[in-house]
Amino acid sequence: MKKKYVIHQLSLVSIGGIQSTFQYYSSLAHEKSKFTHIVFTKHKIDKQYEKELKIQIRNLNNPLNFISFCFHLLSKNSVVNFYNNISSKKIYLLLKILPVRKILFHERGNAWNIKSNQAYIYKFNAEKASLIVANSKASKSILVKKFGVNTGKIKVIYNGVLENIKYPNKKLESKINIGFIGRLDTNKGVNIFIESAKKLNDYNFNIAGTGPLEEYLKSQCAKQENVRFYGRIENPYEFLKNQDLLIVPSIREPYGNVIVEAGIMKVPVIASKIDGIPEIIKDGISGVLIEPKDDLDYNLTFDKTLPYPEFVVNSEGKLTKPNQLSPKDLIKEISSLLKNKDKMKLVTKNLYSFVKKNNTVEKYYQSLEKIFTKLLLDK
């Protein structure tokens, strides 16, 4: 039997939910998959992935690698996975030229950033695909309701994370540690996290991540001794192990890998009730959800920041205008949860149970392997 290939086309230039999920997945694929896996990327590879990814990586800027990639697009013995590229005009033009055989698109949140007038690209690329893998029901809703993608083409597979993480006990500190981890950009609501810190001086507010708003945010709390910036964090578990509470004040959040990672580390979470977050957290049961009610702060939109989304998905699965959390609401929920130790234990236990059931990297790997087996081996 001829060798069968699974080709992954994604960016490995930065640390994010796509990259971390793929990093965990690739280890299992290398060890267990019946197929040969290859990564094609056209950007500079982050040093973290150069040393940790065990599967072969090829740069598309090399003409020979690009020809090889096109060969896989045409081959019946290859499945090509595009990650967060269903909106790509370059891929749209490529697929117009080539009679592609077996391709998948993985939607991980890019659809929130794209304007509705690019729907024709989404529809064309989706029609060419054998399947679209969405990381949440919210991602599926955006594809169907914003861009008119055929719902029958979409399969929801939740992101997978490492489990059974073992680290030393957390550092003993006199103050409670409240954490935020993510890209410092418009859609993450970091400004609301900082506004809350200014009213809760008895707690440490710890910010992990980098992004275009970093210097601006630092300037907004230069005199705030309880706010600390940790910069780039390669291992989120090392950061989370020292947090007593995680805040996810996102304006849009396709799923929320950091919530899943917090669940594995048994850290309780307060988050925005928006997009894919309610698929992980049930309010008062496995965390605390807050309805975003305030108007967006357009003073945060700089040259290099992401645009605010046209729409987000509400808890009923409908598209709605985006809002941000009220700092007053966040302050209230932080104070209330930290005073209620029994509730803290309950939501922590239930979030951990949900993640162990739904978000292991093994389950994610097995779900994709079934798809590849069907496409490559079924007669």
Question: Which pLDDT score is estimated for 306?
Answer: 87
Distance (Å, rounded) from C-alpha 154 to C-alpha 151?
6
Give the single-character DSSP code of 40: E
Distance CA 149, CA 129 (A): 11
Q: What is the DSSP letter of 249?
A: -
* Strand arrangement of the beta sheet that strand 203-208 belongs to: 227-231, 203-208, 176-181, 245-248, 269-272, 288-290
Residues 81 and 151 in one domain: yes
Question: Tokens in use for 144?
Answer: 């169907």
Confidence of residue 2 (pLDDT cuts 50, 70, 90): confident
pLDDT number for residue 15 = 66
Strands 78-83 and 103-107: parallel
In a domain, residue 317? The reply is: yes
Per-residue model confidence as pLDDT tens digits over 295-326: 999 988 887 888 899 999 998 889 999 999 99
Query: What are the backbone dihedrals phi and psi of residue 150, each rounded to the nearest 5 degrees, phi first?
Result: -60, 120
The rounded mean pLDDT for the chain is 91
The residue range of the domain holding 275 is: 176-358
Q: Are residues 12 and 155 located together in one domain of the fold?
A: yes
Tens of pLDDT, residues 13-63: 766 777 878 888 988 999 999 999 999 998 777 776 766 778 889 999 999
pLDDT of residue 167: 60
Total residues belonging to the chain: 379
Please give the pLDDT value at position 111: 87
Amino acid at position 341, single letter: K
Question: For position 60, what pLDDT does the model report?
Answer: 93
The whole-model pTM stands at 0.92
Residues 276 and 319 in one domain: yes
Same domain, 139 and 182: no
Q: What are the pLDDT digits (tens) for 123-147?
A: 899 999 999 999 999 999 999 999 9
The residue type of 116 is S
Q: What is the pLDDT of residue 379?
A: 55
pLDDT of residue 1: 58
> What integer pLDDT is reported at residue 173 of this predicted model?
65
Would you say residue 171 lies in a domain?
A: no
Q: Are residues 228 and 291 in the same domain?
A: yes
Cα-Cα-Cα-Cα torsion 66, 70, 71, 74, nearest 10 degrees, comes to 170
Stretch 187-195: mean pLDDT: 95
**Do 369 and 269 lie in a common domain?**
no
> Are 206 and 176 contacting, i.e. CB atoms less than 8 angstroms apart?
no
CA gap 222, 216 in Å, rounded:
10
Whether 352 and 245 share a structural domain = yes
- Counting residues of the chain whose pLDDT is more than 70, the rounded percentage is 95
State how many domains the chain has. Answer: 2
Helix, strand and coil content of the chain, in percent to the nearest 5, comes to 40, 20, 40
For residues 344 and 224, membership in a common domain is answered with yes
Q: Is the model's pLDDT at 267 over the cut of 80?
A: yes
Q: How far apart are CA 169 and CA 141, in angstroms?
A: 41
Q: Which CATH number goes with the domain that contains 186? A: 3.40.50.2000
Q: Are residues 56 and 198 in the same domain?
A: no
Give the pLDDT of residue 171: 60
Contact by Cβ (8 Å): 248, 240? no
- pLDDT tens by residue, 280-296: 999 999 999 999 999 99
- Kindly compute the dihedral angle of the four CA atoms of residues 111, 114, 115, 118, in this order, to the nearest 10 degrees: -90
Query: Residues 163-190: pLDDT tens digits?
Result: 666 665 666 567 899 999 999 999 999 9
Same domain, yes or no: 147 and 224:
no
Confidence at residue 271, expressed as pLDDT on a 0 to 100 scale: 98
Same domain? For 339 and 366 the reply is no
Question: Mean pLDDT over residues 212-232, rounded?
Answer: 92
- Going 200 to 202 to 203 to 205, the CA torsion angle's sign is positive
Residue 262 pLDDT > 80, yes or no?
yes
The lowest-confidence range among 9-18, 171-180, 198-207, 240-249 is 9-18
User: Does 128 lie in the same domain as 257?
Assistant: no
Q: Is there a domain that residue 373 lies in?
A: yes
Find, among 111, 86, 135, 148, the residue nearest to 310 by Cα: 111
Q: E strands of the chain, at which residues?
A: 5-9, 36-41, 56-59, 78-83, 103-107, 131-134, 154-156, 176-181, 203-208, 227-231, 245-248, 269-272, 288-290, 312-313, 319-320
